[in-house]
Structure 1
Amino acid sequence: MHAWPASEVPALPGQGRDLRIHDTATGGPVTLDPGPVARIYVCGITPYDATHMGHAATYNAFDLVQRVWLDTKRQVHYVQNVTDIDDPLLERAERDDVDWAALAERETALFREDMTALRMLPPRHYIGAVEAIPGIVPLVERLRDLGAAYELDGDIYFSVDSDPHFGEVSHLDAAAMRLLSAERGGDPDRPGKKDPVDPMLWMAAREGEPSWDGGSLGRGRPGWHIECVAIALDHLGMGFDVQGGGSDLVFPHHEMGASHAQVLTGEFPMAKAYVHAGMVALHGEKMSKSKGNLVFVSALRREGVDPAAIRLALLAHHYRADWEWTDQVLQDARTRLAHWRAAVSRPDGPSADALVEEIRDALAEDLDAPAALAAVDRWVVLQESKGGTDAGAPGVVSRAVDALLGVAL
């Protein structure tokens, strides 16, 4: 599966700071010091109802991570998956009376278009669950051979008791885990499971549903969590720098994925930092496919909204915060964009050297994009009120905003 084209990232003078970011597993900040190549895995979409503003906010957060690392003169090895086979996708295809594979292909293509328009830097590897199945099957077989997996009516489950570190990502109690498992694709009430929250590794073929050759597992399809583990281990290995996604992935997805990988390899932890973006609401409720209260990037683009304004609307909120999309949020972003573009269109202006360092400092401190925007706003106000004599300043601001914030002026 191919990703989307990369926009050029302007080179800036000097060098950025190492990233200090909130780690869900420890509950506090960690300073990441990757080697020459920083490694990040971000969980991708299940391709239906793409790309809504919640998606966009999440991928914007991890685009900033990439940009901070690139500014430190590192390379970035970024991997993202597409869950192009899963129950919700099949349910949507049946509801709409369309082929599930065609639906996945269409929505993935739309997602690529939206990511391109928003200037999100693409992953080096963009892998679909279906194409990863040949690598998933041996991992499930190995977990079974290790005694960490068991069969139940033909399905294969992972035993959470097999990982001594289970629970160290989310730090939830058993009752909370069971509740979230039921809400987020698990089956805690199924009789015969060793633990109610044990997740499925391999689903035996169901009549009328797609299935693949699973070798000794029989025909079927992979569970959600083992998909990402197989892709991450194949392309990044253990101990990569950041495991990212929305806060709704903390449990069960990232908790289970960590345990799968740790049992498979005997190493701990799977990732040095577990980083999660907040949820976006509309009309007081979390924006979600199940509620149908979605604002789509593609719809806004069709209405003529500049993608740079959409990106500024996202950047106006700290990535870990839960926030609400409103018409005013978008209008504020459009107004800000107009002021910024007018300011950098002048032939000269106030010196911008300090501004570049302010943006770097803000982003290095847990991706504080609102503080970075406020710094640019201050330069723009100074430009509008007093101007300046530095002929290079508008260009410096334009390149810094592009390179570090992904906004083309």
Structure 2
Amino acid sequence: MRTWTPPEVPDLPGTGVAPKLYNTATERLEHPAIPEGRAHLYVCGITPYDATHLGHAFTYLAFDIMQRAWRDAGIETVYGQNITDIDDPLLERANDTGVDWRALADEQIGLFRSDMHRMGMLPPEHYIAVTEQIDEIADAVGELLERGFAYPVPTAEAAGDDIYFDTRAAERDSQWRLGDVAPYDHDLMLRLSAERGGDPERPGKRGPLDPLLWRAARADEPSWETSVGAGRPGWHIECSVIARGALGGAFTVQGGGSDLVFPHHEFTAAHATALSGTPLAHAYCHAGLVSYQGHKMSKSRGNLVFVSKLLDGGADPSAIRLGLLAHHYRSEWEWHDSDLDVANRRLEAWRSGLQRTTADPVPAAAVVRQLRSAIANDLDTPVMLATLDAALDQGVDSPDLIADAALALLGVQLR
């Protein structure tokens, strides 16, 4: 799948420090393993039917900053991202609007690419749609069946059987254990499964948390003829196959929004471990969810703030970035319409501050050291913003260095 043109990222003098990151799986700050100076990052992509709202942007911005921190530390990055371009929510939206699901997906993918480019996001090297990997995913499902990690469940709605992952078998015969990624209790897992695409009450399953691997073909639904019969993939196996194919096993960070911790990232890791015998990733990092008008942004409530509408209305991409970066990437917070005004004032103050002359300027090199220290501490962008507020309010001895640092580390254009 075609990606987007990368933004300019200046090289700064000296070298930054590889960041400590909060690992959801261990619930502590860690330095993920980065062998041979190359970090591999996989971030779950959009289901293309409501792109791109600020909740999406906040998540992808977090991992954009992560890559900038790595690159500044002299670490090469390899970034993979999928597109879930076949899934129930997409089909439901297409049906509700009377639009062909392929046309809807293509339109939304194009809009997402445009939004990411205009926002100055670093593009993935591997940008892969599920529909580009159907055969590979089906073959992985077949392999799980052969190894005893999957089983069929008959359905009256289809000629073939649905195929489910056997959670108990995977715990018994692989390195994965339920809770390896999501340190939640069983009752919470059941509730989240029901809320987030699972079917814990489905008759015929061996365990209520067992996730769907393959959905047998139904009438009036898209399907593909594959090695495991006609149908389409389940959600978690898609990312297992795409991530491992793009980045290999035991890569540096699996990322996404905090609503993906369970069941998606838990079972993505389970499938990958059952297939390969090794863990999927060294660390699991998650961005907080963004609310608007008192509730988490969601299509069902209709409380979405779209990046494209802000940009088309004249918003400066750097101001949108600053409005988001004012919050630590792991925080849960609420966007207010006035946030863009606050961000605009900050951006104007920074740009004016570059021109400020003073008898006692702040050493720009010291500011860069402070920025590097903050970004190395779990991507602490609020501290980075406060650092630049103070420095540019007083004036700096090298405006060009500060402009380069803001662009390289935060993706904010000051010139």
TM-score normalized by the length of structure 1:
0.96
1:271-290 aligned at under 5 Å gives the runs: 271-290=281-300
Q: Is the 8 A contact 2:33 2:282 kept in 1?
A: no
Compare 44-53 and 340-349 and name the one that shifted more.
Answer: 340-349
Q: Give the Cα–Cα distance (whole angstroms) in 1 for the partners of residues 401 and 357 of structure 2.
A: 12
Cα deviations by residue, 1:292-339 (Å, 9 ceiling, x for unpaired) = 110000011111111110000010000000000002211110100001
Q: Secondary structure at the match of 2:305?
A: coil
1:133-148 aligned at under 5 Å gives the runs: 133-148=134-149
Give the match for residue 261 of structure 2.
250
Q: Give the Cα–Cα distance (whole angstroms) in 2 for the partners of residues 228 and 299 of structure 1.
A: 30
1:118-267 aligned at under 5 Å gives the runs: 118-153=119-154, 154-164=161-171, 165-215=177-227, 217-267=228-278
Give the match for residue 384 of structure 2.
372
Cα deviations by residue, 1:121-144 (Å, 9 ceiling, x for unpaired) = 000000000001121111101100
Give the match for residue 157 of structure 2.
none
Q: Is the 8 A contact 2:45 2:81 kept in 1?
A: yes
Q: Give the Cα–Cα distance (whole angstroms) in 2 for the partners of residues 162 and 65 of structure 1.
A: 36
Q: Secondary structure at the match of 1:163?
A: helix
Q: Is the 8 A contact 1:40 1:244 kept in 2?
A: yes
Q: Secondary structure at the match of 1:336?
A: helix
> Is 2:10 the counterpart of 1:10?
yes
Deviation at 1:100, TM superposition (A): 0.2
> Is 2:332 the counterpart of 1:322?
yes
Cα deviations by residue, 1:57-109 (Å, 9 ceiling, x for unpaired) = 00000001100110011211000000000000000000000000010010011
The structure 2 residue matched to 1:294, chosen from 278, 284, 304, is 304
1:61-100 aligned at under 5 Å gives the runs: 61-100=62-101
> Is 2:374 the counterpart of 1:362?
yes
Cα deviations by residue, 1:192-225 (Å, 9 ceiling, x for unpaired) = 101111111110011011101122x111000110
Q: Is the 8 A contact 2:258 2:289 kept in 1?
A: yes
Deviation at 1:346, TM superposition (A): 5.1
Q: Secondary structure at the match of 1:272?
A: strand
Q: Is the 8 A contact 1:18 1:33 kept in 2?
A: no
Q: Give the Cα–Cα distance (whole angstroms) in 1 for the partners of residues 117 and 253 of structure 2.
A: 23
Deviation at 1:235, TM superposition (A): 1.2
Unpaired segments ≥5 residues, structure 1: none
The structure 2 residue matched to 1:333, chosen from 333, 343, 367, is 343
Q: Give the Cα–Cα distance (whole angstroms) in 2 for the partners of residues 408 and 116 of structure 1.
A: 14
Q: Give the Cα–Cα distance (whole angstroms) in 2 for the partners of residues 200 and 73 of structure 1.
A: 41
Q: Give the Cα–Cα distance (whole angstroms) in 1 for the partners of residues 318 and 139 of structure 2.
A: 44
Give the match for residue 406 of structure 2.
401
Q: Give the Cα–Cα distance (whole angstroms) in 2 for the partners of residues 158 and 221 of structure 1.
A: 15
Q: Is the 8 A contact 2:52 2:307 kept in 1?
A: yes
Give the match for residue 319 of structure 2.
309
Deviation at 1:178, TM superposition (A): 1.2
Q: What code does the residue aligned with 1:265 have?
A: S
Unpaired segments ≥5 residues, structure 2: 155-160, 172-176
- Identity over aligned residues, as a percent? 53
Q: Is the 8 A contact 1:347 1:394 kept in 2?
A: no
| Root mean square deviation of aligned Cα | 1.2
Q: Give the Cα–Cα distance (whole angstroms) in 2 for the partners of residues 360 and 132 of structure 1.
A: 39
Deviation at 1:343, TM superposition (A): 1.6
Q: Give the Cα–Cα distance (whole angstroms) in 1 for the partners of residues 22 and 338 of structure 2.
A: 29
Deviation at 1:162, TM superposition (A): 2.3
Q: Secondary structure at the match of 2:225?
A: coil
CA gap 1:33/1:145 in 2 versus in 1, 3 angstroms: closer
Q: What code does the residue aligned with 1:34 have?
A: I
Q: Secondary structure at the match of 1:40?
A: strand
Compare 96-105 and 327-336 and name the one that shifted more.
Answer: 327-336
Deviation at 1:347, TM superposition (A): 7.5
Q: Give the Cα–Cα distance (whole angstroms) in 2 for the partners of residues 282 and 400 of structure 1.
A: 31
Q: Give the Cα–Cα distance (whole angstroms) in 1 for the partners of residues 311 and 242 of structure 2.
A: 32
Q: Is the 8 A contact 1:346 1:394 kept in 2?
A: no
Query: Matched residue pairs, number?
Result: 400
Q: What code does the residue aligned with 2:411 have?
A: G
Q: Is the 8 A contact 2:42 2:81 kept in 1?
A: yes
Q: Give the Cα–Cα distance (whole angstroms) in 2 for the partners of residues 303 and 148 of structure 1.
A: 51
Q: What code does the residue aligned with 1:369 have?
A: T
Q: Give the Cα–Cα distance (whole angstroms) in 1 for the partners of residues 202 and 33 of structure 2.
A: 43
Q: What code does the residue aligned with 2:138 have?
A: V
Q: Give the Cα–Cα distance (whole angstroms) in 2 for the partners of residues 190 and 78 of structure 1.
A: 36
